[in-house]
Each structure stands twice: as structure tokens, then as C-alpha cells.
């Protein structure tokens, strides 16, 4: 097992994270599937998939997890920053706690794990970091301002780290999924109650946009598409910096590049009737 590549993936208890962990393990990688709830991986019977508890809000928990991996294998070849959740709230309604919590996982969690893994990869003079972002890291939508901005931040992290780590033979990539058929709506979507109140001045946006988004997620692409894309990035050292996944991402990202900001905004308004 010494020559097998070691993968650390966050947010591996469901959806894209769980699918990717299983897929890479089936391809022969040793996968450390980290999550707050490792018991959710009890149904997986793969010797080279190792569930491990982690708390992305504390550097101590992250460091302890990584020390366990290094003790067992002396290296980490691939880091997949997948953990995250979405907050549905207007800026007017969002609380200080909700603002911080959204960035604490989606942005600061990525930075904490990367901060701990980068020195290991730098010393081994090789490594790969894949950030699971979103097409909403390039496209804004109402009610998702905090989620959008956290994913915009992740895209900036990806761009900067590509420069910062190139001399150490560490590749950094971003995957921007669209809407996928995962448990995201049930498990990873949080709402602000004031925004969803019948007395909210934004209730017309909520009633027109939210059901459409939920339907598109529930009828979205299969997560195996992202898992296979991750394997493609691992195997191709010349893979492009970022790539889209899923129908909505492949539809909207190219259009955004072609149109002015104002024209693209009009197109989105028409599409979502907002």
C-alpha cells in the first residue's frame, strides 16, 4: 500500500463527496473520507476508504486528522476541498452569525485544510489540490448572496494558489458544478426564517426563485460525473485550471463570457422570471 496515492477529501458523508470517495477508492486510491459524521459512511465496505472525523472550524481538529494520515502513510498526494453548504437569505435579513458560519466552512475551512496540507506537499515536491466550487462562484443569484460570495472567494483562492504553489510542483484546480441530484437541499441548505416569512418584502422573489432552484437540484446531474472529472484531473498533469460540471454550469458560464454584465443579467432574470 506504500505506493498507492493518498487522498484527503472533506465533506465526504453525502452527495458529491461520498460518491467521489467511493469512486476513487474503487480505482485503487487510499481515501481518507473526512466529515463531522463519519457514521454516515458505515454502509461502505471498502478497505481503502477510511472514514475519519474532522471539524473544519478548528485548526487543531484539522491538524490532528492530518497527523493521523501522515503517521500511517508519510504523505498526502491529493486534497479535495469539497465540504460546504448553502445559505438562502437576503442581505437585509442575514444575521452576523449566519454570515460568519457561511464563510467559516466554505472559505475559512478550505484555507485551514490547505494551510495544513501545503507544507507536506511542498516538502514532498508534489501534490494536487482540487477545490469543489460552484458555477455560482461566477454567477450571482438573489437570496444566495452569502453562498455566491463564498464561492467567488474560492475561485480567487484557486487562482492565487496556482501561482503560489507552482514552483513546488503542486497543482491547484477548481471544479464548478451546476445543480446536481444530491442531498444538498435536505442536508446542506439553510434558510433564514425572516426571508421566508409571509411578511417579507422579498416574498415574490422567494416564491418565484426557490421552487425552481429546488426542482433543478432534485432533477440535476448524477454526482458520478464530478467523481469521474476529479479522476481526469488527477491523471492529466496538463488539465486546465477550472472546469464546469453539469448542464446548468455548462450552459451559463459560456454565456456569461460572451455577454456584457448587463445583458447576462437580463438573460438570468428572464430565465428565472425574477
The answer, yes or no, to whether residue 186 has pLDDT greater than 60, is: no
Residue-level pLDDT at 183? 59
- The pTM of the full predicted model, rounded to 2 decimals, is 0.94
pLDDT digits (tens, 9 = 90+) for 15-29: 899 999 999 999 999
- Of 13, 114, 149, 200, which residue is the catalytic one? 13
Residue 45 a catalytic site member: no
Q: How far, in whole angstroms, is CA 196 from its chain's centroid?
A: 25
Q: What is the DSSP string of 25-43?
A: HHTT-EEEEEES-GGGGTT
- Of 138, 151, 248, 256, which residue is the catalytic one? 151
Residue 151 a catalytic site member: yes
Grid cell, residue 247, equals 448542464
What's the rounded mean pLDDT across residues 104-111? Answer: 98
Residue-level pLDDT at 185? 53
Radius of gyration, CA atoms only, the chain: 19
pLDDT digits (tens, 9 = 90+) for 127-181: 999 999 999 999 999 999 999 999 999 999 999 999 999 999 999 999 999 988 6
- Of 89, 114, 133, 149, which residue is the catalytic one? 133
For the chain, which domains are there? 6-272 (3.40.50.720)
- Of 147, 152, 202, 248, which residue is the catalytic one? 147
Local structure of 99: helix, strand or coil: helix
Residue 133 a catalytic site member: yes
Residue 147 a catalytic site member: yes
pLDDT digits (tens, 9 = 90+) for 53-76: 999 999 999 999 999 999 999 999
Amino acid at each position: 500500500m506504500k505506493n498507492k496515492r493518498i487522498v484527503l477529501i472533506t465533506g465526504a458523508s453525502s452527495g458529491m463527496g461520498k460518491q467521489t470517495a467511493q469512486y476513487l477508492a474503487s480505482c485503487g486510491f487510499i481515501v481518507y473520507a473526512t466529515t463531522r459524521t463519519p457514521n454516515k459512511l458505515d454502509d461502505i465496505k471498502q478497505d481503502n476508504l477510511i472514514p475519519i472525523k474532522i471539524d473544519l472550524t478548528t485548526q487543531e481538529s484539522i491538524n490532528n486528522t492530518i497527523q493521523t494520515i501522515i503517521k500511517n502513510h508519510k504523505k498526502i498526494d491529493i486534497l479535495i476541498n469539497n465540504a460546504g453548504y448553502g445559505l438562502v437569505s437576503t442581505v437585509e435579513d442575514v444575521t452576523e452569525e449566519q454570515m460568519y458560519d457561511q464563510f467559516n466552512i466554505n472559505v475559512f475551512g478550505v484555507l485551514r485544510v490547505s494551510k495544513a496540507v501545503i507544507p507536506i506537499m511542498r516538502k514532498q515536491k508534489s501534490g494536487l489540490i482540487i477545490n469543489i466550487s460552484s458555477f455560482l462562484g461566477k454567477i450571482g443569484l438573489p437570496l444566495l448572496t452569502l453562498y455566491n460570495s463564498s464561492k467567488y472567494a474560492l475561485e480567487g483562492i484557486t487562482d492565487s494558489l496556482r501561482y503560489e504553489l507552482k514552483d513546488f510542483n503542486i497543482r491547484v484546480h477548481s471544479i464548478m458544478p451546476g445543480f446536481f441530484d444530491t442531498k444538498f437541499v435536505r442536508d446542506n441548505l439553510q434558510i433564514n426564517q425572516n426571508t421566508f416569512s409571509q411578511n417579507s418584502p422579498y416574498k415574490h422573489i422567494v416564491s418565484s426563485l426557490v421552487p425552481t432552484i429546488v426542482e433543478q437540484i432534485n432533477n440535476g446531474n448524477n454526482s458520478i460525473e464530478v467523481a469521474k472529472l476529479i479522476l481526469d484531473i488527477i491523471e492529466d498533469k496538463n488539465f486546465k485550471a477550472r472546469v464546469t460540471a453539469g448542464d446548468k454550469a455548462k450552459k451559463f458560464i459560456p454565456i456569461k463570457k460572451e455577454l456584457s454584465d448587463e445583458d447576462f443579467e437580463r438573460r438570468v432574470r428572464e430565465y428565472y422570471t425574477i
